[in-house]
Amino acid sequence: MIEFRNFASPGIQFGDAVLQPGTENLILVETAEQSADVLNCLTGLRAPASGSVSVFGRDLGKLSRDERLQVLAKVGIVPQDGGLLAGLPAWKNIVLPRQFQSKHHEAGLGDEFDEAMRFCAAACDPGDEWLRQLPDYLSQYQRRVAAFLRLMLNRPALCIYENIAGNLPGRHKETLLELTRRFHRQQPGRISIYLEFDPGLLAEHWSGTLIRGTPQAQPISTPNPHADASSLRISIAPF
Amino acid sequence: MSPDQIHFCAPSLMRQPQPFAGLSHSLQQPLRTTGGGLIIFYSGVAYCFSLRRRAVREVLGKQIYFTGVEPLPEVLTISLLVGYLFVLLLEEVDMVAGEASTRLLIQTVVMELSPLICGMIVLSRSGTAMTSEIAGMKQRGEIRSLFLMGIDPEGYLIAPRLFGVAIGTMLLSFFFTIGCAIGGLTLAVLLSKTSFERSFDVLVGNLNTIDLFNPLLKGAITGMGVAAIACYHGLRVSASATDIPKAVIATITQGAFFVLIANTLLMAVFH
């Protein structure tokens, strides 16, 4: 269960909301920066401007670094740029979180990878050439598909999709949304959150929970929400 | 933005205490690098347990390969030439010949010069590459992505690089020592007309256990220090693209300073 209490992230106010297990939820914000801020608050990378948000009953911002990483390892996130590491080919990016969590070779990982590929067959290009390419050579759509495959291998209880349908042609948008919904239904109790800043993308025919942020009087702009090291809490700050 | 983000994106807005604030800029910079490098070093060592993870061992293996194996042909060539030149110079100035030059070769080139030269090679190859890689990762938001995947950035990025460069530099120092000894020995035999067996006996006779470990230990310490400085400067960049070349320059200059100081201090300790 995800619980927002009088929650506000910079520039946008949400108030109270509870996301129940098994639900699909759409959080509407106004800009990409606000969407990145909400994601940062949800994952404990930054504190909310006011109020609190708890994930599975725990406020990630108040957990120790290691405890937070343990929780995040069970959360699947598809950032809008895919969040892939530029130095690794797509397939290595997909298996990276699983490989990081395991100390030894996982015999079943290959089968799970194949199963995930079959699940996403409609979304993937024929052949596996794209899997061997570095993220910089992939299209925005392929990067999101790779991030979705990475999420699938994690089998998360909470899935967060940041602007997953944004800037995609209609066919790709529908394919990706269909995949995320099918994946949502695979596991009872799974919570899916779609963070969107374009109301036209999903809100029109949305049947799940809709949380719409209301703008605050003085929004605080974030110049580049991705160029940060907030996650790297090696405190070299005084130096 | 969190305090850390504020620090990385706009240092002027830092709320953290600023040590060395009263000192001049030329003094502040090396002190900051020392402090930051030591913290990175501590982080790498503290997260060494992450090396048991398969994904991290892959990064470690790559780092060892790029630092200690890939440059081997160049390093061996340089080492043969250095050993060769050293004995040639000794003979040219008519200082020593035969056994004495072999002994000097061991004392200076093998013991002192090999970790120093290897440190410089590692700094110019791996140090610069590491700084630009980590700086690029930070600017592309990949460190944030790692965290969102539940992956320790220190465990995945810092620890394998620190240990990989340390092991790689040890390897390079070892092979540089061998190359120097072979190059110098060959020339000593050619110039002084003594037998190879005799010169080899002198070489082995002058080496003790500490002599063998000396360049390895110095190589490991130098390599770890270079990696810590490279990671520190890579992590310090902000969002501007011009920060990356600046960080690489800082790594080269401060890393070279570190290699010289560290080797001088270690020389003092071992003698």
**CA B66 vs CA A80, B16, B91, B252: distances in Å:** 33, 37, 37, 18
Please state, in angstroms and rounded to a whole number, the distance separating the CA atoms of residues B81 and A32: 58
Structural domain of B235: 53-270
* Neighbouring-strand partners of residue A211: A27
User: What's the rounded Cα separation, in Å, for the pair A219 and B5?
Assistant: 18
Nearest by CB to A83, from B33, B148, B232: name it: B148
- For the record, the structure tokens of B120 come out as 């410089």
| Residues of chain B above pLDDT 70, percent | 79
| Residue A9 pLDDT > 50 | yes
Contacts of B247 in chain A (CB under 8 A): none
Pairing of strands A209-212, A2-9: unpaired
Q: What is the mean predicted confidence (pLDDT) over A173-200?
A: 87
Its ipTM equals 0.83
Assigned domain for B87 exists:
yes
User: What's the CATH architecture for A2-215?
Assistant: 3-Layer(aba) Sandwich (3.40)
Q: Pick the more confident residue, A77 or B33.
A: A77
Task: Kindly report the backbone phi and psi dihedral angles of residue A108, in degrees, each rounded to the nearest multiple of 5, phi listed first.
Answer: -85, -10
Percent of chain A exceeding pLDDT 70 equals: 85
Q: Does B147 touch chain A (CB under 8 A)?
A: yes
**Would B5 be classed as within a structural domain?**
no
How many domains, in total, are found in chain B? 1
Amino acid identity for residue A126 in this structure = P
pLDDT reported for residue B47: 81
Task: Answer whether residue B14 is part of any domain.
Answer: no
Flag whether B42 is in a domain.
no
Contact across the interface for A77 and B16, Cβ inside 8 Å:
no
Alpha carbon distances (Å) from A166 to A14, A192, A201, B70? 22, 17, 7, 43
| Residues of chain B contacting A85 with CB distance shorter than 8 Å | 137, 142, 145-146
Does any domain span residue B100? yes
Does B45 reside within a domain? no
pLDDT, greater one: B205 or B266:
B266
pLDDT band of residue A204 (cuts 50, 70, 90) is low
Please list, in sequence order, all residues whose beta carbon lies within 8 angstroms of the beta carbon of residue B136, skipping any fewer than 6 positions away.
A86, B244
Whether B34 maps to a domain, the answer reads no
Cα angle for residues B40, B44, B46 (degrees, 5° grid): 110
Best probe of the A interface among B33, B58, B147, by most A CBs < 10 A, is B147
pLDDT digits 0-9 by tens, A42-96: 888 888 888 888 888 888 878 888 888 888 888 999 998 899 999 999 999 999 9
pTM for this predicted structure: 0.81
**Closest by alpha carbon to B215, among B263, B257, B252?**
B263
B151 within a domain of the structure (yes/no): yes
Contact B150 A102 (CB under 8 A): no
